[in-house]
Structure 1
Amino acid sequence: MLFDEIASENEYNSSESTTPPILHSSLSTPVIDTHRRSWSPISLRSVENQSRQSSIEDLCLLNKFVKDVRTSFHEKSIFGQLIQRYCFGNHNRQNIEQPQFICEERQENAIFKIYLKRLRQKPSTSSESSSSFHTLVDDQNEQNESSNNGQSALLYSTIKIYQLKAGTIEKIVEYLTNKHGDLDTTHMHILFATYRIYTNTKILIDTILSRYQAVVPASLDMTEDVRQKTLKSLATALICLLTAYKEDFYEPPYYTTLSHLLKQTTDIDVQNQCQSLLDRFINEEYISRLDSNIYTCTQDINNNNNNNSKYLHTDDIYNQKGFDYNTPRNFLEMSHVVIAEQLTIFDAELLKCVLPHECLTKRGNSNKGRRLNSNHPLSTVDKTIEQFNAVVNRVVAIILTEQNEQTRARIIEKWIDIAYECRKLKNFSSLTAILNALLSGCIYRLNKTWSHVNINYRSILNELKNIFGSCADRKQARAILDKQLDEIRLTLPENTVAKTQLHEGTAKYVDVTTTINTTFDKKLRSKKPRNQKQTMIGTVPYLGLYLSDLTYIDSAHDNYININENDKSSQKLINFEKHRKQFEILAQIKLFQSAANAYTTLQPLSYFKHWFDNVQIYTDAESWELSYQFEPKTIENPDKQQKLLDDPSPTNRLRPLKA
């Protein structure tokens, strides 16, 4: 039908073009090769006139054909009609069909947000749920949209969409499945990623099992097909909890929660998964105990032999020590590329070990409480923060250890080279740490040292600072990270959990509209050959940026909502809308973890870790004291300066200066 319309339009276009043909200079008159000696002058002149007339007629036909083609493809372009009909039309239709918020509806133990959405009617099929919306048909408004020939009609329906805003734990678990019995995967991932804020694993499992037992007996409320699908969906949710969040069940030596689930569940698949996970935990505990005994015996032998070498007994790269550490290393002689790559290896390994749900319970003063109790192990988020601070402290220490100003300037240039290399490796964690160290007050105030720094290095530092510095607005940094998310998402296989979670939780992070600094972008831009196969892009984000987002969400939204706004003593419901926003951030962290596996070409060097660990670091007071030794603090008021000299307390002479 479309091609019939196009054909009729072309016929109409060719018939209405009555303007005279135009001769273009690019079309030259064909040369007629004649044997002039065998023709008389009169006959030759007549032949030339006839040839010229026929050539002009041919050119007229050719020009008319060219003009018709140009007219059809430019003035009334076929491609333009196709694009307008099938691209802009769909875009406008999608805008019309966006859900429109109407109101909130308060039911028993739950609060819903109600939307209205207009959809095209399709043949009735088994519906599948891939979002956290539970739909209910409100009314069906048939609407005829006739085309130019009036032969097509489209049917539309208006549906009411219920989105869970708040509810009890029982209500949240109930909405793991929709009215057709299908599992709502987004709702499941949000629940499993954020439930630790308001409940524990045992209560969650008991609630899911209670829902499972309530559906087991047949009832008139749901058909047998829906009942079987609901039971299967709940079992699938439990298996997902056991596989994707198995660290929640690691409770040695008795594994109470896992054993409880194994006894209470009646589903065979869930039982097999529980038993498999329990056996795995027991084997890992046995191997860990055996390795610990071997390590203890080895330490005793080494102590008796007065050998100070240390052996690796764990796979945690954060606690690893190098072997080759006999030869001291000169920082200026080390390659800036090697240092950036080794820092990237450490950051990538730590990022892969991060448990995203620990970001929700992370608080600013949690490290102080953990340091007081040495028996309490550091969380995975704390380890990334410790590594970040370790890089900052070592950058400051290496600069302040050098006494010569020019050599100190060369060290600063070296760290700028390392930061620039981290930018190329997309290691934004170490990049931000190096910038924070270079822009710290005790380093940034050394004007004499900075005067020896090459102007090109200072220019690069300013460009990096404007994007990734602590004083920057972070809009460009967020735009870069969002663009990396899009590129990573495109390279993931369709069936990966990370891509599923990102697609469901962060669909709005698709378009990056923030422009990046032009000069800096040109320096880092690399030309990609055409038809190049897409590969995974290794990226290590600055985790503090996402921790700040989670902090803002936590501050802006309450954990609980009163079912009656006017009565503060009314029933409190879990604010599931808040956890939906938190899940959007956690899904991005999960995707960056999958991208951290792309650093396959980088190999760790044994000596670097030992050199890094053995760099002497200073406290804040010691750093400021060294900084003032190099360039004493000048005070315009002589009375204050005399008071500073008379007072030996470090509170006056070690006060930080603003950069």
Structure 2
Amino acid sequence: MSFINAGIYLCLLVAYWHFQSTVSEKEEEGAIYTVVVKPQAGASSSAVHSSGLRCEFIKAGTEEKLVLHLLHSFSTGDTSYVSIFLSTYRSFTTTQRVLDILADRLENPPGANKLSVNRLAFNKTVCSVFSKWLDEYKEDFLSLGDPTPLLRLAPLLPSDPSGSEIRRRLLKISEELSERALLSDSPTDCVSPVTPPSDSSNAEFDATKILGFPADVVAEQLTRIETDLFLHVVPYHCLGSLWSQRDKKGRGGICLSVRATVRQFNRLAKAVTASCLWHVDLRTQQRARLLEKWISVAEECRARKNFSSVYAIVSALQSNPLHRLRRIWAETDREALRRYEELSDIFSEKDNYSQSRELLREEETSQLVSADTKTNNRRPTGAAARGTVPYLGIFLTDLMMLDTAVKDRLENGYIHFDKRRREFEVLSQIKFLQTSCKNWSFVADESFLEWYYSVPTLSEEQSYRLSNQIESASDPSPGRALNPTVVITHCTDILTSVVGPSIESEAVFDFPSPVNHLLSKLAKHMKSPSVSCLDVESSPPPTDPALTYVTPESSIKSHRRSVSCGSPPTSKGREAGPDMRIIRIRMDLQDGNLYRSIMVTSNDKTPSVISNALEKHNQDPKEAPRYELIQLQPDGKELKMPSAGNVFYAMTSSSVDFLLRRQGGGTPLGSPSVGTETSATFPRIKAKGRRLVRTLF
């Protein structure tokens, strides 16, 4: 049986096993558990409870219960709990607090006899948890600043060889913390592994020098930089609860590994823009060759599975200063334009970047095949031997949306740990892709790196002024159409934070991109804990400073931007404004308190919102005419949306929760009973289609 066929068979087997499982919930003091009883081979359905394999997965609980479950998760069958907790606990507690709770428990271990079965099992679990923690998140202990928690914990560890080794490692970290305190050193954190050389004088910068570097050499060097940065990304730095806090006062030191990736993305996008605009005296044909060069580089990056650099180049080529150069695009090779359109389609916003996600899934499959080949002592060749460097913004988007759509705590105050399980699914994808990049090896090309780091940084004003001068000075060739032949999929948004006096701007992915527009607004509203949605109306729309500098008017009279800046691409026959909002919709069904996050624009009418919501809830979108959309008001009242109404303009900024109800149902609303929410690990089976839930939220 081939690897792929075996994988399909295993998935079907797991799905069948899950369908036959009995799922329930139990609540004890301080915690709620999802109980799954899985049938054993040969057991009848009536005997599942008595003969099945019982697993208990903690769904929500107090801080103390969640920490102590680290020491009980293996015995309850929740084998992934330790990994999930260590990846996500920083969003609801601190390292010192976790260590204090564990130390309290170690002072009172189970069993009176040190050699009892319970004590030995307990010691084994303690060593397993701390060993994994030290191996994967050593920086947690280094960030304590004070060695006191470690000095308290070390004597309490088991005295067996495993416990002794962990004690030795903790004491070594304690010594390091003590020395650091004496020397007044600041805590170390992730830094960019590629240190750029000092910038050369702008007067000496030669933009056309990029034409002398083969496209595959440029792509290889960009992939080298991106791979080093991606391998240093700490996955939990991408959590929405942390990333959304990066701009708050006193939080400048968080998420440094993600900030380093952001800086590289912005540096590359700005390098593409500056190299194409720098010399205003270049001939039209020369500037067209520069566009073609960057398209070829993007293609080579795509061949190396470096999606981060591909998107940085594409977003720069789609930015206003470049895409408005219609006469330059008219001189660009037709085949290059076709390839450029194909690359642009990869990062289309349609269906939440569905093409980009599909490519990542294909790459994951190829990596699994590569791993299977390696297991069978066959050396992987070709594309399977290369790792994948994703565009990190996709994962940041998912985690920000998830953090917005799902509450951190239940109504009783328990920490909602099922939310952390869903976040861990995204973090696991990042970890998997990092593993695929570990075997890459590169040789630095100092000549290209010197040129790359010498590219001057242009402000928005400079970029638009140069773009205007270039377009005004370009004389169209006789008989050549003035309209650009390239199809621009969207006009990218220019934010005031895109280009500052220094290229080290690291607030967000501040390249001109629709994703940046969404993340920036979402992050801005997340600064207030009471705001859980994207409320565009509560803040003025971003201004486009470029319009001030695009003169004379005759130079742009025949140029039409495809859509408004910051808007997602529109479908044929309609234009979308810049207004959008995230709302939360649940269904009045058996899993009625499971909310899904839906984006609504100012063009969306009630039927389209209902259709999108049904699809998010894994229902048939064609059933939309049978449903009605209800807005849940803060005072407990309901507002039925008209069938032809515009949901966006019918909303208020304080009411973003909606309900999907079958027409004529009239089910009274109330607090859903505990246990109706679908678990991310074991989703409830739908009556129609019996499909596993595949969406994050």
Amino acid paired to 2:263: E
- For residue 231 of structure 1, report the CA deviation from its aligned partner: 2.4
Judged with a 3 Å threshold, the aligned counterparts in structure 2 of structure 1 residues 477 and 331 are, in CA distance, closer, same or farther, namely: same
Matched-pair contact (CA < 8 Å) for 2:26–2:32: yes
Q: Is residue 397–residue 616 contact of structure 1 (8 Å, CA) maintained in 2?
A: yes
Structure 1 position 559 matched with structure 2 position 480? no
1:486 is matched with 365
1:616 is paired with a residue whose SS is coil
Q: Secondary structure at the match of 1:163?
A: strand
Instruction: Judge conservation of contact 1:388–1:433 (CA < 8 Å) in 2.
Output: yes
The verdict on how the C-alpha distance between 1:101 and 1:385 changes in structure 2, with shifts beyond 3 A counting, is: farther
Shift of residue 218, structure 1, vs aligned partner: 3.2
Counterparts in 2 of 1:556 and 1:109: CA distance versus 1, 3 Å: same
Alignment match of 1:598 (pick from 414, 434, 439):
439
Q: Which residue in 2 is equivalent to 1:401?
A: 278
Equivalent residue number for residue 120 of structure 1: 41
Shift of 1:599: 1.9
For residues 95-244 of structure 1, the aligned pairs below 5 Å read: 95=16, 97-98=18-19, 100=21, 102-120=23-41, 140=47, 157-158=51-52, 161-178=55-72, 181=75, 184-218=78-112, 224-244=116-136
1:441 Cα deviation (Å)? 1.7
Question: How far did 1:118 drift?
Answer: 2.7
Q: Which moved more, 1:94-103 or 1:620-629?
A: 94-103
Alignment of 1:488-567 (within 5 A): 488-492=367-371, 533=380, 536-563=385-412
One-letter identity of the residue aligned with 1:233: T
After superposing the two structures, state which structure 1 stretch, 210-219 or 276-285, moved more.
276-285
| Alpha carbons 1:562, 1:573 under 8 Å: kept | yes
What residue is the counterpart of 1:250 in the other structure?
A: 142
Residue pair 1:323, 1:607 contacting (<8 A) in 2 also: no
Which of residues 415, 424, 445 is equivalent to 1:583?
A: 424
Q: Is the 8 A contact 2:219 2:301 kept in 1?
A: yes
Of 350, 353, 356, which aligns to 2:232? 353
| Paired residue secondary structure (2:70) | coil
Q: Does 1:332 align with 2:218?
A: no
The 3-state SS of whatever aligns with 1:582 is helix
| Equivalent residues of 1:103, 1:114 under 8 A apart | yes
CA distance, structure 2, for counterparts of residue 427 and residue 89 of structure 1: 31
Tell me which amino acid in the other structure corresponds to 2:361. Answer: D
Report the alpha carbon displacement of residue 175 of structure 1 after superposing the two structures with TM: 3.0
Determine the structure 2 residue equivalent to 1:613.
Answer: 453
Structure 2 equivalent of residue 629 of structure 1? 469
Could you tell me how far 1:203 is from its partner in structure 2?
1.2
Q: Structure 1 117/232 Cα, relative in aligned 2: closer, same or farther at 3 Å?
A: closer
1:452 to 331, 335, 353: 331
> What corresponds to 2:220 in structure 1?
341
Could you tell me which runs of 5 or more consecutive residues in structure 1 were left unpaired when the two chains were aligned: 1-78, 80-86, 123-136, 143-155, 293-313, 497-529, 564-571, 635-648
Aligned partner of 1:276 in structure 2 is: 169
561 and 236 in structure 1: CA distance in 2 versus 1, 3 angstrom threshold? same
Counterpart AA for 2:214 = S
Q: Which residue in 1 is equivalent to 2:528?
A: none
In the other structure, the counterpart of 2:548 is: 653
Do the aligned partners of residues 392 and 118 (structure 1) sit closer, same or farther apart at CA in structure 2, a change above 3 Å counting? same
**Unmatched 5+ residue regions in structure 2?**
2-7, 474-481, 483-543, 551-559, 564-697
Cα–Cα, structure 1 residues 588 and 480, in superposed 2: closer, same or farther, change >3 Å? same
CA 1:260/1:614 → structure 2, altered by over 3 Å: closer, same or farther?
farther
SS at match of 1:166: strand
Q: What is the root-mean-square deviation of aligned Cα atoms in Å?
A: 4.3
Tell whether the 8 Å contact from 2:316 to 2:322 is kept in structure 1 after alignment.
yes
Pick the structure with more helix per residue.
Answer: 1
1:317 partnered with 2:193: yes
Distance 1:355 1:256 in 2: 26
Q: What amino acid is the match of 2:267?
A: A
Once residues 89 and 617 of structure 1 are traced to their aligned partners in structure 2, the CA distance between those partners, rounded to angstroms, is: 52
Whichever residue aligns with residue 175 of structure 1, its letter is H
Deviates more, 1:159-168 or 1:576-585: 159-168
Q: CA deviation at 1:159?
A: 5.2
Determine the C-alpha separation between the residues in 2 that align with 1:276 and 1:422.
Answer: 41
Letter in 2 for 1:318: V
CA contact (8 A) 1:138 1:158 kept: no
Give secondary structure in 2 for the equivalent of 1:106.
Answer: strand
State the identity as a percent: 27
Q: Could you tell me how far 1:229 is from its partner in structure 2?
A: 1.1
Task: Find the counterpart in structure 2 of residue 436 from structure 1.
Answer: 315
TM-score, with structure 2 as normaliser: 0.58
* Partners of 2:285 and 2:357 in 1: CA distance: 36
How far did residue 186 of structure 1 move? 0.8
Q: Look up the match of 2:266.
A: 389
Q: Distance in 2 between matches of 1:349 and 1:285?
A: 31
Q: How far apart in 2 are the matches of 1:160 and 1:538?
A: 39
Q: Sort the Cα spacing of 1:484 and 1:286 in 2 relative to 1 into closer, same or farther, 3 A.
A: farther
In structure 2, C-alpha distance between the alignment counterparts of 1:475 and 1:432, rounded to whole Å: 15
Distance of 1:200 and 1:477 partners within structure 2:
35
- Deviation, 1:259, is 3.3
Identify which range, 89-98 or 434-443, moves more after superposition: 89-98
Structure whose CA Rg is larger: 1
Kindly state the Cα deviation for residue 163 of structure 1 after the two structures are TM-superposed. 2.5
- C-alpha change, 1:373 and 1:483, in structure 2 (3 Å) is closer
